[in-house]
Amino acid sequence: MPGLHHLDPAGWARQIRAGDRRALARGLSLVENDQAAGERLLAELFPAAGHARMIGITGPPGAGKSTLASGLARLYRDRGERVAILAVDPTSAFSGGALLGDRIRMQEHWRDEGIYIRSMATRGALGGLAAATPRLADLLEAAGFERILIETVGVGQDEIEIARAADVTVLVLVPGLGDDIQTIKAGVMEIADVLVVNKADRGPERLEQELRAALTLDGRDDGWRPPIVRAIATTGQGLPALAEAVAARETALEQSQGREPSRRRQWRHRLDTMLADRVWRQLGAAHLASELDQMAAAIAAGRLNPYRDQVLDNFLRRFLPKP
């Protein structure tokens, strides 16, 4: 995307806030691919962000998350909200039929200016995915979307990180996909605010039973009891109930504390990531690179024991100020 850097961030931000979809698309690409230039754009847009409701949708491959997200977006749109879907998508050479099919179905919404769908490729975003997602959400918020669905394809630490950026997290599961596909990290279970048993026409009872057992085992600190919603995303069945469960969670959050504490917690977490990354880049990239190379060589050759005698702490002490 040549030439983007020469655009004036303020003018660009005005175009995005005025609803120019092309400016928005290019802005998202910039934020995804170029941290420094992206932040200049975000700096202009930040005052307009912070008002959307964010819903994280996660679960194992094959659970029907895309179809569910698409249906849910339609439902919110029919209620008059402006909706964006941000799909964090482990694109690859293999990404084949099913996923692509879902995406094409989702594109049917495209002609409606009140719905925006963005797939975020994870290619090359090693370690940066979880950090990039909330930045893209900031941009979509600033563009005036009132409801942002963040859909993550996969199960893992990344998904937990991404879910933290949402106000409400929905975990989508399906009966009978095979036990090992249902293997969900306990961490995801603990942050799921609403559980969906999708493809509920396939005999949802056993899965629901397991979910209830798991919920009893792992009580949540905040006292919220995640409801279990049956759905058949392909027919739209259960979507109103899902929207209702999400709304109940939003109401509970707002009654208990309002929205600011939740935003504050999210920013506290984002700051950790942003600053840890920045600190290490400043220290590491600048003057530590060759010393780190030497240290790694000494360890690899067995001359230095990294676990011994606070070797690492001593190393850092030379570069960090006294507390």
Closer of 86 and 160 to its own copies (Cβ): 160
Burial class (CB in 10 A: 0-12, 13-18, 19+), 165: buried
Query: In angstroms, how far apart are the furthest CA atoms of the chain?
Result: 67
Strands 115-121 and 194-197: unpaired
Q: What are 86's strand-pairing partners? A: 118, 150
Asked if residue 186 lies in contact with residue 124, where contact means CB atoms within 8 angstroms, the answer is no
Cα separation, 43 vs 310, whole angstroms: 41
Kindly report the backbone phi and psi dihedral angles of residue 268, in degrees, each rounded to the nearest multiple of 5, phi listed first.
Answer: -60, -40
Closer of 56 and 114 to its own copies (Cβ): 56
Closer of 160 and 253 to its own copies (Cβ): 160
Cα Rg, the chain, nearest whole Å:
22
Closer of 111 and 308 to its own copies (Cβ): 308
User: Tokens in use for 263?
Assistant: 């935003």
Closer of 131 and 248 to its own copies (Cβ): 131
Closer of 39 and 146 to its own copies (Cβ): 39
DSSP 264-314: HHHHHHHHHHHHHHHHHIIIIIIIIHHHHHHHHHHHHTTS--TTSTTHHHH
Closer of 72 and 129 to its own copies (Cβ): 129
CB of 22 to its own copies, least distance (A): 22
Cα separation, 37 vs 28, whole angstroms: 11
Asked if residue 37 lies in contact with residue 30, where contact means CB atoms within 8 angstroms, the answer is yes
Cα separation, 206 vs 197, whole angstroms: 11
CB of 223 to its own copies, least distance (A): 19
Q: What are the C-alpha distances in Å from 277 to residues 35, 165, 282, 284, 317?
A: 12, 18, 9, 10, 19
CB of 209 to its own copies, least distance (A): 11
Closer of 155 and 243 to its own copies (Cβ): 155
CB of 244 to its own copies, least distance (A): 25
Kindly report the backbone phi and psi dihedral angles of residue 259, in degrees, each rounded to the nearest multiple of 5, phi listed first.
Answer: -90, -20
CB of 208 to its own copies, least distance (A): 12
CB of 286 to its own copies, least distance (A): 5
CB of 118 to its own copies, least distance (A): 18
CB of 289 to its own copies, least distance (A): 10
